[in-house]
Structure 1
């Protein structure tokens, strides 16, 4: 993939790159000489989900948006254990090491788990951390352990972990996946050519199973509603974010409720919170201009 004139004008460049010997599909926007912004998508998206935001930021950043392991056109190994968070983090650590120094990392949804993992386990590779409607593992597990509203909202995780859930999601032209995707949130942005692009990525051989394996491999404990559980013993000292940290939050999110970020300051001393009213879990699609402005106002 060449670093040529069109990229300097902000036109998307894309192609296969090798990370530790495996093929990953990566999109890039903006001049490679600009500060680098690694953009990590969540479920059930892919690197192209960042297009609206990247076009707003490409004059300030060299935006890098991979299809993560198991998604889109990237490597999708067999087996649940291949999707342990530690493996997903190492993929992106390998990508950052090819970028000549630390980068700012932006994560959304499941991409936030990878982003937090990078910041905590590879602090030399991450200069700043931005999370958009995503959760740090400790406040999230604390919210789930209560057996209250977040536990109810997260029951879909138990459904996804069931054998054969990928077939149910794909049936009737992805009707089940679309229902899960919406979860009482605004999907007016997911129509026409964009919807067809998503369905094309979901239909790639083995991809839905790989995507769901992220949930199956996770150690996250999700009790039944009303059944509070003890908090797991977590290595709290190793779960600190030592970089400047920006949390961007769409206040209409029904998948991740506000208490999933309560106490985040305990783990991120240099934390800035910005709420985007009128947005929900899919804030990067609904309000890309406002999201870009918040990032540029915070980032030096």
Structure 2
């Protein structure tokens, strides 16, 4: 029978009847979407709708769920039965050719078993939030053999995420809870925790029965595979989509996977576990790009770059495949940040008002990582920044990380600051951040894959001073802008961080303007400030390390240097004390 453009039929699996749903032209390449627990085929509705014009899309309700049969007994949910079902669907929907397999959650777990045991049936595989149990077993053993603090933290983190697996081993209780109505709070949790609003088909009306029957998947397979893992290797070209906000599967579980999957691509997205529902555009695009890469189909230049960056090499580094834009990259914190990301595998765009300095940074970054790019741009110039952002997107793609670092210094009393002085400081320090954040955040949001923006503020943002009225005001505005952006963009998976350095030995002291002073006195003040900052001995490389860590951990506000951390604490605990300190004339 037919339901709209979806053709529904029954296929006999191993002792069960499976409900199979097909869309699109059967002459097109076949994509098989396998759902997880406690879902049905309908979890893929949005993704399928975005693939159907290019592919023959096949889905089915796995045994125990939706319109398929519910066998009795734990044994009938083992991998052997699941593989027999999947094979029956393949034989019915695409008997004479390889298919492109996509799995989510338990659909991905069983798909790993499929590409391991019958790789000749698949042209490609995309895994989402469902690791190979064999790999997890080996990963766990590896961490226990080397019980370093980091390994133990990662084990504990996954253990906390997996609490429900132990609970599902208890007899009768999980089934009783599903039948008692925990499906309703489950649906509310999806909406509040992941932004996935209920809609017809998901969660399914059969959820109480699906949840109750599907517990058998955990009881039949988990302990056996985790304690006695097989070799998880497969030669099928594999793409792993890693939602970094997954409450159930740690991103760290992909560690070491490249040793077992020679053709491996990794895609990360700032989203939760049910990413096929929350980010269907991105998931469908990545599936199509992966298939295009494997089959040699023509891809747009931006897609080719994205696919190339996703590939995993034997020595993959933390930011391998990431595109990172750094403004003010010609020297100081900007240059150190560009080099820190390059050293971790990122492709860097070094932007600076000094083109020669930007080119030098790009040359150095290219020695540490992929070929880097230099761009000359004045961040205070709106039109120039718009052209710069468009050029980056057109030539290289949408950045994964943007560091709005460009800034200038200015000191002196408020009454000595002219209107032009204020305009210059605000144009660079504040408007430069506004331009960079606005333009690149719009690109990140439109792409739908998340990202991170870092804005360089200063300890001056929360340290009032009679000698830094314009500079401190500009940096306080950057701090507040960052907090506002973080609140607005979180739902789009875009993190925003304010970095607040204290006294750091950079060339900002040599280029700062000391208002109300003669040219000779200004030079004297610059030399004195430079000597003091040099004696402090805190280099820009240490700030860059904090920036990299803030991106990886999605931190909101990062005071850098001990005096910055102390000032940040004091500003929150005793604003009156900070006001008294502000009266000191440090000029």
**TM bracket, shorter-chain basis:** 0.7 to 0.9
Shift of 1:221: 6.7
| 1:235 and 2:230 correspond | yes
| 1:208 and 2:227 correspond | no
Aligned position for 1:225: none
Aligned position for 2:183: 174
Where 1:124 maps in the other structure, the secondary structure is helix
> Larger C-alpha radius of gyration, 1 or 2?
2
Q: CA 1:290–1:17 in structure 2 vs 1: closer, same or farther (change >3 Å)?
A: same
Aligned position for 2:285: 293
TM-score with structure 2 setting the length: 0.44
CA distance, structure 2, for counterparts of residue 22 and residue 193 of structure 1: 26
Shift of 1:183: 11
Aligned position for 1:228: none
Aligned position for 1:160: 168
| 1:110 and 2:106 correspond | yes
| 1:190 and 2:197 correspond | yes
- In the TM superposition, 1:69-108 aligns within 5 A as 69-98=63-92, 99=94, 100-108=96-104
CA distance, structure 1, for counterparts of residue 102 and residue 127 of structure 2: 6
CA contact (8 A) 2:16 2:63 kept: no
Aligned position for 1:283: 275
Q: CA 1:193–1:267 in structure 2 vs 1: closer, same or farther (change >3 Å)?
A: same
- In the TM superposition, 1:14-29 aligns within 5 A as 14-19=8-13, 22-29=16-23
CA distance, structure 1, for counterparts of residue 134 and residue 14 of structure 2: 30
Aligned position for 1:226: none
CA distance, structure 1, for counterparts of residue 211 and residue 65 of structure 2: 8
Where 2:58 maps in the other structure, the secondary structure is strand
Deviation digits for residues 90-113 of structure 1, max 9, x if unmatched?
210121123122211101110112
| 1:135 and 2:135 correspond | no
CA distance, structure 1, for counterparts of residue 14 and residue 122 of structure 2: 19
Shift of 1:192: 4.6
CA distance, structure 2, for counterparts of residue 183 and residue 144 of structure 1: 32
Aligned position for 2:42: 48
Where 1:13 maps in the other structure, the secondary structure is strand
Deviation digits for residues 50-104 of structure 1, max 9, x if unmatched?
1100000011111111000111111211000000012111210121123122211
Shift of 1:276: 1.9
CA distance, structure 1, for counterparts of residue 14 and residue 38 of structure 2: 24
Deviation digits for residues 206-234 of structure 1, max 9, x if unmatched?
x4332111111114379xxxxxxxx7443
Where 1:193 maps in the other structure, the secondary structure is coil
Aligned position for 1:227: none
Pick the structure with more helix per residue: 2
Where 2:72 maps in the other structure, the secondary structure is coil
Q: Which has the higher contact order (CA 8 A, sep 6+)?
A: 1
Where 2:289 maps in the other structure, the secondary structure is helix
| Aligned residue pair count | 277
Aligned position for 2:317: none
Compare 165-174 and 284-293 and name the one that shifted more.
165-174
Q: CA 1:161–1:297 in structure 2 vs 1: closer, same or farther (change >3 Å)?
A: same
Structure 2: which 5+ runs fail to align? 145-154, 293-587
Provide the aligned C-alpha RMSD in A: 2.5
Where 1:60 maps in the other structure, the secondary structure is coil
Q: CA 1:21–1:32 in structure 2 vs 1: closer, same or farther (change >3 Å)?
A: farther
Where 1:299 maps in the other structure, the secondary structure is helix
| 1:270 and 2:263 correspond | yes
Aligned position for 2:541: none
CA contact (8 A) 1:37 1:105 kept: yes
| 1:59 and 2:64 correspond | no
Shift of 1:170: 3.0
CA contact (8 A) 1:93 1:122 kept: no
Shift of 1:28: 1.3
CA distance, structure 2, for counterparts of residue 153 and residue 143 of structure 1: 16
Structure 1: which 5+ runs fail to align? 223-230
Aligned position for 2:249: 256
Q: CA 1:199–1:92 in structure 2 vs 1: closer, same or farther (change >3 Å)?
A: closer
CA distance, structure 1, for counterparts of residue 182 and residue 133 of structure 2: 33
Shift of 1:29: 1.5
Shift of 1:235: 3.1
Q: CA 1:232–1:174 in structure 2 vs 1: closer, same or farther (change >3 Å)?
A: closer
